[in-house]
Amino acid sequence: MNTSKLLLTVTLSGLITACGGGGGGGGGSTPASKAASSAAPASSVAPSSMGASSLAASSTPVASSIASVAASSVASGAPTISAFIVVDQFGYLPDAKKVAVVRDPQTGYDAALSFTPGATYQLINLDTNTVVLSGSAVSWKSGATFEAAGDRAWWFDFSSVTTPGTFAVVDVEKNVRSPGFKIGADIYKPVLKHAMRSFFYQRAGFAKQAPFAETGWTDGASHIGAGQDKNARLFSDKNNAATEKDLSGGWYDAGDYNKYTNWHAYYLVALLHAYAENPTVWTDDYNIPESGNGIPDIIDEIKWGFDWLKKMQNADGSVLSILGLAHASPPSAATGPSYYGPASTSATLTSAGAFALGSKILASLDNPELNTYAADLKSRAEKAWVWSVANPNITFRNNEGTSAGLGAGQQEVDDAGRATKKTTAAIYLFAATGASTYRDHVDANANNATNWVDVWGEPELTAWLYYANLPDATSAIANTLKSQYQSAFNANHNWPAVRNGEDPYRAYIGTSNFTWGSNRTISRKGLTFNNLIDYNISGTDTAEVRNATVAYLNYIHGVNPQGMVYLSNMYSLGVHRSVNEFYHSWFTNGSALWDRVGSSTYGPAPGFLVGGPNPSYDWDGNCTSGSPNAGCGAAAPNPPKGQPAMKAYLDFNTSWPLNSWQITENHNDYQVAYIRLLSKFVN
């Protein structure tokens, strides 16, 4: 053992504390909060085991806080929870591979600490206090340090245990254990409900009231006052009442309240795939206002999203690009006007694809009301296609030049991006209509479409595989698409990374792919594996695929260097440590009601996925590291800056100039990827 390190054998549930300081005030939308959105490379309080003092915001640098805890704490009596034995804190399916990761920091904010596992590891049934498995932790790569995490690691495999119950992994000699977790067939079902309910809390123009909103997160309908969504005006002609449109509804896009058509339409596509790929898991009991109507609640939420997208479509088939909203906490307190941007080719193409897939999926439910709705979506999809073909290069870059101030993120794409959107729309239009004109366009653009499998192309790869499974797809093209996909999986850090154990946390994406929104990247990587099952790729070993896929879910649920569930406020489901605060205009920094679990009255609502570790994080230029100034109010935090990729995270929501949105903002794009991944393992 490195004697310069401290041996930590105590719980570090509060090791990542929020940076203090009052600058910025959080909650306003900023251009930076979406700069990398599409770029490539519950209980309201914590349980007693996580006292408020460990969760309160602190201005003490994290490394010093850890050292202080380690120096003043001694393990005694029953095993204490160690930050160095990480598990999926919700649990594991009986037939899944189950591996606890034991970690010893070498670089990063916790490098001064040390943990070497003892000789004997046990799996303890916490309900009966009995030992159900005994063994040892096996060194990963003979003691090598994993660069992306800055950790050495060991694995304790307890896959052989399949009996349901509540368990913990115990290091007998060190008298420490992992957080508790469950083994059971239904462990992820309540998690899925919370994750889907985040869209209910993101609804614009809709009151969140009991019994549907949980205690503490009620609010009136937002953005329906004078000059807001029901009377939105064209941004470039704000004083012209003739431009007014009713554009109410939809979802807040992220921590900002704006609604971006390109992204919104894609969220609908992702949720439609989540339903279609596993329809039996979606129930009608998520406690939203539509629950109990005989339609799966995911479909009800999808319909809510389509209701807004339909309003954004003009009579000529084009689709408006964006609706910019005012911000406040809570959302109903926002009083500023709403403005929209003009139609664009990209927004219209993305909407065409969403309308088409929606018509196909909703019609499959064989519900009379939905059949009528689906027929309307189909008509809208075809009108959008016609307009896009006639207007192939209409672009609109919001929040730039004369459009500065409209929205926060940039959703416009280049020529190649529009070409991809056109082909994707054609795939879904062919599925909905069977018309050969769409199939011909798809086939003409299918060359090498799936010969490279990576996370950045996952939405397009899914669309291609969807086409390859349509009964009327051109058979030669369909066979080639599947064959290319299968071949690509034997390279590019896909199966090689899994089979060679390249990541001790078992969720390999490569250091360079830890960028803004890395938790979305993790989710999409898992989806690329499960596509082998969902889209009937020959030669697939189902058990191997599921074990590879679920490891990415395990990472989000706590098998990571932070030992953190990257979902907000999930303590009602028994987790040891989840996101306590994140960048959101409602759950804003400094709010007495919604800021942080354990220090504000309620903390944020449960179930929101945050962006995750981002080694490109930086604070504003006026926030000097190591010295306080008027903007920071405290020393600039470390972490997240200057850390190994997987440690570039801090549980905080401070706005400018610390710019926490780069790692802790939620985004519906992250949410739909995670929901789709999670739904694969719900029974």
CA distance linking residue 136 with residue 421, whole number of Å:
51
CA distance linking residue 508 with residue 11, whole number of Å:
27
The region of weakest confidence among 17-21, 103-107, 257-261, 516-520 is 17-21
CA distance linking residue 254 with residue 609, whole number of Å:
10
CA distance linking residue 83 with residue 562, whole number of Å:
8
Biggest CA pair distance of the chain:
76
Identify the H or E element spanning 104. Answer: strand 99-105
The rounded Cα 504 to chain-centroid distance in angstroms is 22
Q: Nearest Cα to 649, choosing from 634, 665, 635, 633?
A: 665
Instruction: Give residue 139's pLDDT.
Output: 98
Instruction: Give residue 41's pLDDT.
Output: 37
Mean pLDDT over 584-604 rounds to 98
Question: What's the Cα-to-Cα distance from 539 to each of 398, 486, 509, 528, rounded to whole Å?
Answer: 46, 8, 23, 16
Token pair belonging to 292? 């109990």
pTM: 0.91
Please name the amino acid found at residue 409: G
pLDDT band at 621 (very low <50, low <70, confident <90, very high): confident
CA distance linking residue 78 with residue 124, whole number of Å:
12
Residue 468 has pLDDT above 60, yes or no: yes
Per-residue pLDDT tens over the stretch 494-546:
999 999 999 999 999 999 999 999 999 999 999 999 999 999 999 999 999 99
Per-residue pLDDT tens over the stretch 266-299:
999 999 999 999 999 999 999 999 999 999 999 9
Degrees, nearest 5: CA angle 445-449-455 = 135
Three-state SS at 182: strand
170 - beta bridge partners?
A: 122, 177
183 - beta bridge partners?
A: 92, 165
Instruction: Give residue 368's pLDDT.
Output: 96
Residue 307 has pLDDT above 70, yes or no: yes
Instruction: Give residue 492's pLDDT.
Output: 80
Per-residue pLDDT tens over the stretch 398-407:
999 999 999 9
Mean pLDDT over 389-417 rounds to 96
Mean pLDDT over 172-180 rounds to 98
Degrees, nearest 5: CA angle 675-677-678 = 65
Identify the H or E element spanning 324. Answer: strand 322-324
For 467, which DSSP code? H
Instruction: Give residue 629's pLDDT.
Output: 55
CA distance linking residue 174 with residue 106, whole number of Å:
19
Residue 69 has pLDDT above 90, yes or no: no
pLDDT band at 95 (very low <50, low <70, confident <90, very high): very high
Question: What's the Cα-to-Cα distance from 520 to each of 271, 492, 552, rounded to whole Å?
Answer: 14, 19, 11
Residue ranges of domains in the chain, CATH in brackets: 199-407 (1.50.10.10)
Residue whose structure tokens are 């203090």:
20
